[in-house]
Every structure is written in structure tokens, then in C-alpha cells.
């Protein structure tokens, strides 16, 4: 039987034994950010339960407080008193959270005061011109490091006008930022997406009563606010993916994850896993959630088109682990955006695979994984990226019996899934 030990910032797993059990995935990170922001914009009290307990969402909660919203524990969730945003007393620090800074930039652009938003070294390295450019076109004054292309961003918000915008890269964060700014703008703000990305911003705006319309690959908003709401955040598919892939690749395993969000734009990894031959069942358990079960079995290589990429962008590292163990090669197209995540995820995924003895390479924007690997233990650096840490923990569990894998920089996992090791222990008893 294998083991899992956390010592300082290093997680060590010894391979051996199946994953078996039933888990609730942590609250969805993307939905949690938006729930807090929309509640802060709504005039009155909202109640949100099931929020992600990760540091990224805590950063959004703190940012909304800094902007004048009340955010306080209330029963099983939090109560957010919104509607009266005001200038923050000092710079807002979003830590590692790219979603926080980009979405917040949209809100700050609509507010008649100056907001400074920065983050850790990773966030301050990531491209921000993708939000700065459209927000400037709408009328906000957006400045920042590196000629306004990087955080910290200084945003003097004010009178905005609607624009029609086609983001140059497929990004739900950019779409979200422009749509949130559109809530403050005169006229219509339209985002056109050549390749669709996760639809949480427009879906939640519609559900909570803002003026939004979705048709023909376009989302249009007009000046409006959400109404106060009660909302329970479903579980995070991107977190569930670790357990489902873990079950698929570890002999004797069967894992169920319940309460997982099941809307468009987030289930791409399930389709890919099924194409690889994984036995995954999905039972709807409510309007917005599903119960997923995956059992160990043989996998085959897969080809994933660029059009599918936004739908599984956060699951690529763990799918690459599955591909390494599958029979035959896999090819994942259109992964240029992976370079701009918490780490350069193409690079960190390749490094992790190599550390565990799997052959893979990058061919332009595609990740090619040779397949048929017998993974061995190794030493992997999370590179400050929670998803790299968790993906290669799963890789380590699927290595040859008794092999030891050390994942350094494990602390990054706290951004989205502080309970990961606890849930892993639950699946290994
Ligand atoms: C997110 C969108 C994705 C994803 C990130 C969360 C969101 O980024 O990688 O973890 O909540 O909008 P992009 O769509 O900007 O690539």
C-alpha cells in the first residue's frame, strides 16, 4: 500500500493501492468569484453557500470588502451586502488569482474612482493588456507596469460607453471583464467569441436579473445591476478531474465525485476521458449539478482539436498524465493560452511528464504525449501552479508500485483546493 506525506512544502506519494471512495468537489472557483462580485454589485443582501475555500476566492472576497461591500459569515455561507462600492483605502492584492484581477478590472473600470490592483510575482507577470485594451476603448483610464501591459494596474474608472469586442485570445476572464464593465456603460456592450469559453459570467448575470442577451456567438449587456440573490455554488469540475483521472489510471480504483457543476464549457475533460475509453458515468442530481463516477480501465490515445481547448484548459496537465499512461500517442491542439497560466503550463507539464519518465513534446501550439509509459517516481516542481502540483501527485500515484514521487511547491494547491490531501486520504483508506 502506498503512502502520502506532506512535509513543509513537499508532498511525497508512494505509489500502490487503488483510489476508492466518494467525495464532494470543493466549490467551483470560477463561479465563486463571480457570485461574490455580482453580490457586491447587487443593491442589498445576498447569501452565498458552497464557496470555494481556496486562497483565490478569499482574495476576491477581500477585494470586494476593500471596495465597500460587506462580506460576513452567515450560517453555512456568507452574507454579502452590496450596492454601494467606494474607493478602496489602498492597493488591492489578489495574490495568485488571475481571475480576480481580470474580472475586478472590469468592475473598477465602471467605478468613478481610482483602484490599484496587483498580485504575486506570477500575476504580475501575466498579460493584462487583454483586459486593459478593451477597458480603455470603453473610456476607462488604465495604466500599469510594462507600459500598461502588466499588473499592478491603476484603473481610473468613470463614464464608459459600450463597445463591440472580439477578444484576440479565447478567454472567459477577458469576456467577463468586458461584460462586467458593460453593466456600467452607456449603450450596448457586445463580446463576440470565435471559440466559446466558459459561460459563467453571462449565465449568472442572466440568472440574477441583469440585462444580458446571448445569441449567435455573441453576448450583449446593457447598463443594469444584478438583484440580490441566494445561491449555492456547485462543485468544481476542474477539481473533480483529478479524482476521475486518478481513478482511471490507478488499478482497482473507483471514485465518485458528487455535486459537480454541469454547465457548458466545463465538461470537455469528460468527453476527452470517454474518447480515451475511460468508464465514466454521469448522473444529473439537480439543475446545475451531476454525480460522476470513474473506474480504472485501459485508456487509448486521443486527438483533441483546438476548438475544444478552452473547455479543458485547466485539465490539460492531468489529462496529459492520463495520455502518458494510455496506449498510443495523444495530441492536444491549440494550447498557446497555457503559456499564460499560473505557470507556463506547457513547459511545466512537459517537465512533470519527463520527471516521471513519460515522453512528450510541444509541436507549435500542440502538446504531443507518446503514450504507453510505465511511470516511475520522480521529483516534480509545481512551478507555483496548483494544477501542476495536483496533476503530478496523481501521476505519482499511478507510478510503479513502491515508487516515490516528491512534488515540491505543494503550497500552491491552497489557491484552489486546500482540502486536496484530506480528500486523497479519504480515497486511500
Ligand atoms: C477562468 C477562466 C480560464 C481558467 C481560469 C478561470 C474564469 O482562464 O483557466 O482558471 O473563471 O474565467 P481563461 O479563460 O482566461 O483562459
Assess whether 43 carries a catalytic annotation. Answer: no
Catalytic pick among 28, 56, 314, 385: 314
pLDDT band at 279 (very low <50, low <70, confident <90, very high): very high
Residue 252 alpha carbon to ligand 1 centre in Å? 33
Q: What is the dihedral of CA 369, 271, 193, 171, to 10 degrees?
A: -60
Once rounded to an integer, what is the mean pLDDT over residues 290-306? 98
- Contact (Cβ atoms closer than 8 angstroms) between residue 331 and residue 360: no
- Contact (Cβ atoms closer than 8 angstroms) between residue 335 and residue 367: yes
Q: Encode pLDDT of 335-356 as tens digits.
A: 999 999 999 999 999 999 999 9
pLDDT band at 264 (very low <50, low <70, confident <90, very high): confident
238-374-305 Cα angle (round to 5)? 45
211's CB contacts (< 8 A; 6+ apart) are 221, 222, 223, 224
Give 187-253 as a DSSP string: S-EEEE-SS----HHHHHHHHTT--EEEETTEEEE-S--PPP-EEEPPB-HHHHHHHHHHHHHSTT-
Measured from CB, residues less than 6 Å from any atom of ligand 1 are 30, 99, 171-173, 176, 197-198, 313-314, 337
Q: Encode pLDDT of 148-166 as tens digits.
A: 999 999 999 989 999 999 9
pLDDT band at 46 (very low <50, low <70, confident <90, very high): very high
Residue 416 alpha carbon to ligand 1 centre in Å? 13
240-2-269 Cα angle (round to 5)? 20
Is the torsion defined by CA of 344, 349, 350, 356 positive or negative?
A: positive
- Percent of the chain scoring above 90 in pLDDT: 98
Looking at the predicted structure, is the pLDDT value of residue 56 above 80?
yes
Pocket test for ligand 1, best of 167, 178, 180, 197 (most atoms within 8 A of CB): 197
Residue 173 alpha carbon to ligand 1 centre in Å? 5
Calculate the average pLDDT of the chain. Answer: 97
Q: Cell 499511478 appears where? A: 398
pTM (2 d.p.): 0.98
Q: Cell 483546438 appears where? A: 306
Cβ count within 10 A of residue 91: 13
- Contact (Cβ atoms closer than 8 angstroms) between residue 32 and residue 77: no
Q: What is the pLDDT of residue 2?
A: 84
- Contact (Cβ atoms closer than 8 angstroms) between residue 339 and residue 346: yes
Q: What's the order of all strands across the beta sheet hosting 164-165?
A: 164-165, 189-192, 218-221, 212-215
Looking at the predicted structure, is the pLDDT value of residue 429 above 80?
no
Once rounded to an integer, what is the mean pLDDT over residues 200-214? 98
Amino acid at each position: 500500500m502506498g503512502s502520502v506525506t506532506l512535509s513543509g512544502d513537499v508532498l511525497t506519494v508512494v505509489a500502490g493501492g487503488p483510489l476508492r471512495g466518494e467525495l464532494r468537489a470543493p466549490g467551483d472557483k470560477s463561479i465563486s468569484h463571480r457570485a461574490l462580485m455580482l453580490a457586491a454589485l447587487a443593491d442589498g443582501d445576498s447569501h452565498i453557500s458552497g464557496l470555494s475555500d481556496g486562497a483565490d476566492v478569499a482574495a476576491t472576497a477581500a477585494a470586494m470588502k476593500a471596495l465597500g461591500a460587506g462580506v460576513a459569515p452567515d450560517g453555512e455561507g456568507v452574507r454579502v451586502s452590496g450596492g454601494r462600492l467606494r474607493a478602496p483605502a489602498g492597493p488591492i492584492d489578489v495574490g495568485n488569482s488571475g481571475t480576480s484581477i481580470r474580472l475586478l478590472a472590469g468592475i473598477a473600470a465602471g467605478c468613478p474612482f481610482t483602484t490599484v490592483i496587483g498580485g504575486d510575482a506570477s500575476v504580475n507577470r501575466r498579460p493584462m493588456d487583454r483586459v486593459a485594451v478593451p477597458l480603455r476603448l470603453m473610456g476607462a483610464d488604465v495604466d500599469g507596469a510594462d507600459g500598461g501591459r502588466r499588473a499592478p494596474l491603476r484603473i481610473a474608472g468613470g463614464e464608459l460607453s459600450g463597445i463591440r469586442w472580439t477578444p484576440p485570445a479565447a478567454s472567459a476572464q477577458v469576456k467577463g471583464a468586458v461584460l462586467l464593465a458593460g453593466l456600467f456603460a452607456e449603450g450596448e456592450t457586445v463580446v463576440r467569441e470565435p471559440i466559446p469559453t466558459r459561460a459563467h459570467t453571462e449565465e449568472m448575470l442572466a440568472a440574477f436579473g441583469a440585462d444580458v442577451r446571448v445569441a449567435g456567438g455573441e453576448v450583449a449587456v446593457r447598463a443594469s445591476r444584478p438583484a440580490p440573490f441566494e445561491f449555492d455554488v456547485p462543485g468544481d469540475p476542474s477539481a473533480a478531474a483529478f479524482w476521475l483521472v486518478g481513478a482511471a489510471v490507478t488499478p482497482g480504483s473507483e471514485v465518485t465525485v458528487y455535486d459537480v457543476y454541469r454547465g457548458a464549457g466545463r465538461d470537455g475533460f469528460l468527453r476527452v476521458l470517454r474518447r480515451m475509453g475511460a468508464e465514466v458515468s454521469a448522473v444529473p442530481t439537480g439543475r446545475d449539478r451531476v454525480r460522476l463516477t470513474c473506474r480504472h480501465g485501459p485508456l487509448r490515445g486521443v486527438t483533441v482539436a483546438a476548438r475544444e481547448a478552452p473547455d479543458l484548459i485547466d485539465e490539460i496537465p492531468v489529462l496529459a498524465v492520463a495520455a502518458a499512461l494510455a496506449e498510443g500517442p495523444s495530441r492536444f491542439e491549440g494550447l498557446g493560452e497555457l503559456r499564460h497560466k499560473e505557470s507556463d503550463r506547457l513547459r511545466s507539464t512537459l517537465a512533470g511528464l519527463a520527471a516521471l519518465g513519460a515522453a512528450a513534446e510541444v509541436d507549435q501550439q500542440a502538446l504531443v504525449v507518446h503514450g504507453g509509459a510505465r511511470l516511475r517516481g520522480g521529483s516534480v516542481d509545481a512551478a507555483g501552479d496548483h494544477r501542476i502540483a495536483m496533476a503530478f501527485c496523481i501521476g505519482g500515484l499511478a507510478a510503479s508500485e513502491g515508487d516515490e514521487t516528491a512534488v515540491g511547491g505543494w503550497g500552491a494547491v491552497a489557491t484552489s483546493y486546500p482540502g486536496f490531501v484530506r480528500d486523497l486520504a479519504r480515497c486511500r483508506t
